[in-house]
């Protein structure tokens, strides 16, 4: 799979559910040998660590979107090895409709590139499974981390 040198921007190609929830695809990037997970610094909230993720666009599969976002945000390239689930995010209490639906996959990292699209916006850092689960800033991300293969070792 080829990824561009720049990150995709805009929401004109975004996928949405019938209820209007935005689909977000992402990865839990793992190093199985080192038993660690790669997180990136949040671009919106300083000091927060997140899984690489972003909008699923209509010209790609969920897996392609997740792998692309992991490349753009973390410079990580690898092989998707598992579907980790779908998670509603920010449920509207009045309608019961989520703002977003996060779809996560496990990506076995094969290499980290020295240059990647968001390298000037984000820091990337390896964490142990326990550290990643504790530090991930969103509940949906912690749930995905708890489903990855490192949780069962």
Q: What is the pLDDT of residues 37-92, one digit of tens each?
A: 999 999 888 889 999 999 998 899 999 999 999 999 999 999 999 999 999 887 67
69 in Cβ contact with 44 (< 8 Å): no
What is the pLDDT, as a whole number, of residue 141?
Answer: 95
What is the arithmetic mean of pLDDT over 19-29? 93
Is the pLDDT confidence value at 13 over 80?
no
pLDDT of residue 10: 56
Closest to 77 in 3D by CA, of 118, 121, 113: 113
* Higher pLDDT among residues 14 and 140, named by residue: 140
d(CA 26, CA 140): 11
Backbone angles phi, psi at 19, to 5 degrees: -85, -5
Residue that the structure tokens 């390239």 belong to: 77
User: In the prediction, which pLDDT does 4 show?
Assistant: 59
List 83's β-bridge partners, or say none.
105
Is the model's pLDDT at 31 over the cut of 70?
Answer: yes
For the chain, list the domains and their CATH numbers: 29-152 (3.90.79.10)
pLDDT for 128: 97
pLDDT digits (tens, 9 = 90+) for 78-133: 999 999 999 988 767 777 777 889 999 999 999 999 999 999 999 999 999 999 99
């Amino acid at each position: 799979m080829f990824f561009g040198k720049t990150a995709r921007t805009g929401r004109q190609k975004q996928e949405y559910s019938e209820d209007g929830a935005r689909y977000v695809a992402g990865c839990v990037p793992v190093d199985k040998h080192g038993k660690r997970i790669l997180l990136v610094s949040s671009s919106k909230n300083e000091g927060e660590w997140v899984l690489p993720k972003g909008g699923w666009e209509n010209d790609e599969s969920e897996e392609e979107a997740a792998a692309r976002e992991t490349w753009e945000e973390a410079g990580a390239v690898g092989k998707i090895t598992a579907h980790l689930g779908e998670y509603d995010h920010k449920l509207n209490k009045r309608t019961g409709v989520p703002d977003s639906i996060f779809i996560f996959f496990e990506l076995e990292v094969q290499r980290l590139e020295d240059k990647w699209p968001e390298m000037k916006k984000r820091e990337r850092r390896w964490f142990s499974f326990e550290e990643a689960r504790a530090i991930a800033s969103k509940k949906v991300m912690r749930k995905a981390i708890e489903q990855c293969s490192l949780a069962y070792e």
